[in-house]
């Protein structure tokens, strides 16, 4: 691993061939390794954009939608369309026709 400020800090991990990794170490990695040897976390981001989009009662419906024919975004659109249809049915049943403009 490079010691002086002018030399870039190298990873230094042992490679399969027995040498040391010559890739530059990531600046924010606490272990001084490159992105291939421990610089990045393999864990997916838990704050993905659609994690809170499916309500708890809709999780079973989401899982039951066909996989492979549509992607997750289209599945969410189907759920949202279902929510809108249920809200519209409630407004029609209650006689509040002016509330339909909000949907």
Kindly state whether residue 50 falls inside one of the protein's structural domains.
Answer: no
Kindly state whether residue 27 falls inside one of the protein's structural domains.
Answer: yes
Does the pLDDT at position 2 exceed 60? no
Does the pLDDT at position 103 exceed 60? no
Domain that holds residue 86: 56-102
pTM of the model: 0.34
Give tens-digit pLDDT for 17-75. Answer: 889 998 888 877 677 888 787 755 666 666 666 666 777 777 787 777 776 666 777 88
pLDDT at 100: 64
CA–CA dist 39, 29 (Å, integer): 5
CA–CA dist 34, 49 (Å, integer): 28
Pair 24, 10: CB distance under 8 Å: yes
Kindly state whether residue 34 falls inside one of the protein's structural domains.
Answer: yes
Total of domains in the chain = 2
60 and 98 share one domain: yes
pLDDT at 42: 62
pLDDT at 40: 59
Q: What is the mean pLDDT of residues 89-99?
A: 78
């Amino acid at each position: 691993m490079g010691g002086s400020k002018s030399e870039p800090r190298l990873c230094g991990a042992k490679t399969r061939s027995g040498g040391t990794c010559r890739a530059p170490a990531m600046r924010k990695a606490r272990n001084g390794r490159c992105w291939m040897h421990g610089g990045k976390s393999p864990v997916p981001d838990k704050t993905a954009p659609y994690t809170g989009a499916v309500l708890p009662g809709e999780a079973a419906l989401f899982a039951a939608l066909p996989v492979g024919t549509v992607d997750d975004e289209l599945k969410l659109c189907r759920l949202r369309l279902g929510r809108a249809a249920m809200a519209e049915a409630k407004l029609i049943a209650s006689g509040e026709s002016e509330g339909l403009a909000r949907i």
